[in-house]
Amino acid sequence: MNHYMVLKKKDFNAFIEKLSKKMKVAAPVRKGVKNFAFEEVTRGDAISRVSLPTILPPKKYFMPQRETIQTFDRAVPRWNSVVSENDAIVIFGVHTCDLSGIQFLNAVMGTPPKDANYLARKANITVIGLECNDYCDAYASCKAMKTHLPSGGYDLFFTDIGDAFMVQTGSAAGETLAQETGFFTTADTGEQKKLGNIRKKKEKIFKDEISVKYANLRTVFEKTVQSEVWEDIGSRCVACGNCTNVCPTCYCFDIQDEIDLNLRTGRRVRVWDGCQNEEFAKVAGGENFRRKRGQRQRHRYMRKFAYPMEKYGTYACTGCGRCTRTCMAKISLKETIHALGEEAKS
């Protein structure tokens, strides 16, 4: 399915408005001074079409920060599984880095035993991607992680070609959704050419941002598990947990029970959790298997660059740059990889 359509920019507002009457539409909007966040919108002009990644990635729609997975009644006692039937939602403005994040989560949650809650939500989500014609900022490493160009994970994919969006269809559902709004026309050769030019220009703009080659990343990380780089990072990290919460491919969670004030009924919820948090690897007896912050950071990196290769055949880093951008201590992904790469050489 490689069908190209065009949406005129003048129709963009009407397109979003029409869509939002049919279902929920979420898109990046300005949040505060320097940031953006995916939020529900009803108008196209509320959307920020900037390339800077949002504070949280769109994973929050697939796996919300808090989600009920069960209800219980202590009096019986009985547990009922809850697999929410969420409303249909379109997520507009998902950049290629985040598309690759969603693809990774799909692989993890679709691996048996499958995560019913995640998959039920996914079934009701339509993803509309949006190309970055230029870098968001210097923290991104999407070229190095090969995520700067679209390669699936979307129902529709938008590229800004000036006075219009070139729209690539990625699924039958995406195509139907576009056709139903009535704003899309088939792309002509002139528009095709404009897209080609943008991609050519991107080749010049986007350069490998990290000093280790894609194919060598795993080996570098496997060779440097005992590196002093981890000690150094450990001494700088404050374990605020920002890096894992904002990561598009972090999916660790905690399971907690909440009881109502009648002390009888309640629910079991899952809440995002992260390996940087103090209590994450503690067992009931009190032993903490990753007591040092350096060990926790190493674990986070290994989960991006070493372990998933074996399990899912891909890296779990999308190059979005969020972890570096949000780090209180300015621990930089690019610098870390560079330092490890240098060490692996010797």
Partner 1 sequence: MGKPRVAFFDFACCEGCQLQVANMGEDLLAVLGAIDVVEFREVMSEKGEYDIAIIEGSITTSRDVERIKKIRQKAKVLMAYGSCATIGGVNGMKNNFELDHIRRYVYKDAAKYFETIPTRAVHQVVPVDYFVNGCPIYIPEFVKALKCALIGIPYKVPDHAVCVECKLNENECLYDKGLTCLGPVTKAGCNSWCVNHNNICYGCRGMVTNPAENGARDILEKYKIPMPWVENKMNMYNKVREHDEKEEAHGKKC
Partner 2 sequence: MTALLESPYEVMAGKILKTRQWTDLEKYFEVELPGRKDLGHEPGQFVMISVPGVGEAPISVSSSPTRKGSFEFVIRKAGGVTGMLHTMKEGDSVGIRGPFGHGFPTQRLEGYDLLMIGGGCGNIPLHSLITFVLDNRSKFGKVDILVGCKTPETVLFAEELKDWAKRPNVRLDLTVDRGGPGWQGKVGLITKLIPGIPTDPQRTCAVVVGPPIMYKFVIQELLKKEIPDDQILVSMERHMKCGVGKCGHCQIAQYYCCREGPVFTFKEIRHFYEAI
Residues in touch with partner 1 (CB under 8 A): 31-35, 37, 55-56, 60, 65-66, 235-242, 245-246, 258-259, 261-263, 271-272, 274, 277-279, 293, 326, 328-330
Q: Which two tokens stand for residue 178?
A: 């576009």
How far lies 108's CA from each of 89, 101, 165, in Å? 22, 11, 32
Helix, strand, coil share of the chain (percent; to 5) = 40, 20, 40
Using CB under 8 A, pick the residue from 78, 199, 201, 291 that binds partner 2.
Answer: 78
Helical residues (DSSP H) of 28-171, grouped into ranges:
59-62, 96-109, 116-123
* Cβ closest to partner 1, residue 151 vs residue 262: 262
User: Which of partner 2, partner 1, none lies near 68, with the C-beta cut-off 5 to 8 A by kind?
Assistant: none
Task: Give the helix/strand (H/E) hosting 259.
Answer: strand 253-259
User: Which of partner 2, partner 1, none lies near 119, with the C-beta cut-off 5 to 8 A by kind?
Assistant: partner 2
CB of 291 to partner 1, least distance (A): 8
Cis link prior to 113 (omega < 30° from 0)? yes
313 is a site residue for partner 2 (CB under 8 A): no
What is the C-alpha to C-alpha distance for residues 81 and 199, in angstroms, rounded to an integer?
A: 47
**One-character DSSP codes across 269-334:** EEEE--TTSTTTTB-TTS-BTT-SHHHHHHHHHHHHHTHHHHHHSS-S-----HHHHH-TT---HH
Put the strands of the sheet holding 125-130 in their side by side order: 35-40, 24-31, 89-94, 125-130, 156-160, 164-169, 4-8, 184-186
What is the C-alpha to C-alpha distance for residues 303 and 291, in angstroms, rounded to an integer?
A: 17
Task: Give the helix/strand (H/E) hosting 30.
Answer: strand 24-31
CB of 194 to partner 2, least distance (A): 36
User: Which of partner 2, partner 1, none lies near 79, with the C-beta cut-off 5 to 8 A by kind?
Assistant: partner 2
Scan residues 107-126 and list those touching partner 2 (CB under 8 A).
Answer: 108-109, 111, 113-117, 119-120, 122-124
Please state, as a whole number, how many other Cβ atoms lie within 10 Å of the Cβ of residue 234. 18
Site string for partner 2, 181-220 (x = CB under 8 A): ----------------------------------------
Using CB under 8 A, pick the residue from 172, 205, 225, 238 that binds partner 2.
Answer: 225
70 is a site residue for partner 2 (CB under 8 A): yes
176 is a site residue for partner 2 (CB under 8 A): no
User: Which of partner 1, partner 2, none lies near 278, with the C-beta cut-off 5 to 8 A by kind?
Assistant: partner 1
What is the C-alpha to C-alpha distance for residues 118 and 272, in angstroms, rounded to an integer?
A: 13
CB of 78 to partner 1, least distance (A): 17
Judged by the rule CB under 8 A, the positions of this chain that interact with partner 2 are: 69-70, 72-74, 76-79, 81-83, 85, 88, 108-109, 111, 113-117, 119-120, 122-124, 225-226, 251-257, 259, 263, 266, 268, 270, 273, 275, 280-285, 287, 289-290, 295, 299, 302-303, 306-307, 310-311
